[in-house]
């Protein structure tokens, strides 16, 4: 099976299991059946996500983002455009699972730690080194590296998480972000 096919099966399974964990009656499963195996819905959620974070989710996310991080770009502008387009495509393909994760992570410190350890810190450190590299080449305005990363991330999240129904001109938005960071 292709990586894309595996991803679709995994994503659908994750969403189904998390919906079951959150609302067993709507999934036509008796709550008692679930609680014979798990004392709480949180236990069920953690039993599903915690092992999957390290073994499936993190490698999948990292493999996708590494497509951009491992490519040499002469200009920061090219890197930034590639990163934003990559993250936008990733979110379009994985929005259901991603929404559930971002809804659950703030309320479950165990999930937050797993996410930080296996995804966030790795991506942040790689991105940080690249931003510093391009700053040394004089391609980015004098801003703290963390601010440059936040601007980039927020542009993707606002577009796909908070205002997906808005009419966006993605190319124009990306160019404005690049312009803001570089000049």
CATH topology assigned to domain 50-182:
Tetracycline Repressor; domain 2 (1.10.357)
Residue boundaries of the structural domains of the chain: 50-182
pLDDT at 33: 66
Other C-beta atoms lying within 10 Å of the C-beta of residue 152: 19
* Average pLDDT over every residue of 3-15: 52
* Average pLDDT over every residue of 171-175: 86
Residue 142 pLDDT > 80, yes or no? yes
* Average pLDDT over every residue of 16-37: 59
Among 19-33, 61-75, 111-125, which stretch is predicted with the lowest mean pLDDT? 19-33
Which three-class secondary structure string do you get for the chain? CCHHHHHHHHHHHHHHHHHHHHCHHHHCCCHHHHHHHCCCHHHHHHHHHHHHHHHHHHHHHHHHHHHHHCCCCCCHHHHHHHHHHHHHHHHHHHHHHHHHHHHHHHHCHHHHHHHHHHHHHHHHHHHHHHHHHHHHCCCCCCCCHHHHHHHHHHHHHHHHHHCCCCCCCHHHHHHHHHHHHHC
pTM: 0.67
Q: Tell me, rounded to whole angstroms, the distance of Cα 138 from its chain centroid.
A: 29
């Amino acid at each position: 099976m292709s990586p894309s096919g595996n991803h679709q099966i995994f994503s659908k399974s994750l969403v189904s299991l998390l919906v079951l964990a959150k609302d067993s009656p709507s999934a036509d499963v008796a709550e008692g059946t679930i609680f014979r195996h798990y004392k709480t819905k949180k236990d069920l959620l953690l039993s599903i996500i915690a092992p999957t974070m390290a073994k499936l989710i993190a490698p999948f996310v990292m493999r996708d983002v590494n497509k951009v991080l491992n490519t040499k770009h002469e200009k920061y502008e090219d890197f930034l455009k590639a990163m934003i387009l990559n993250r936008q495509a990733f979110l379009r393909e994985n929005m259901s699972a991603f929404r559930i994760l971002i809804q659950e992570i703030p309320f479950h410190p165990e999930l937050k730690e797993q996410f930080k350890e296996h995804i966030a810190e790795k991506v942040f450190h790689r991105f940080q080194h690249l931003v510093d590299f391009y700053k040394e080449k004089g391609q980015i305005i004098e801003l703290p590296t963390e601010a440059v990363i936040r601007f980039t991330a927020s542009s993707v999240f606002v577009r796909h998480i908070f205002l997906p129904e808005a009419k966006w001109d993605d190319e124009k938005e990306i160019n404005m972000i690049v312009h803001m960071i570089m000049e």
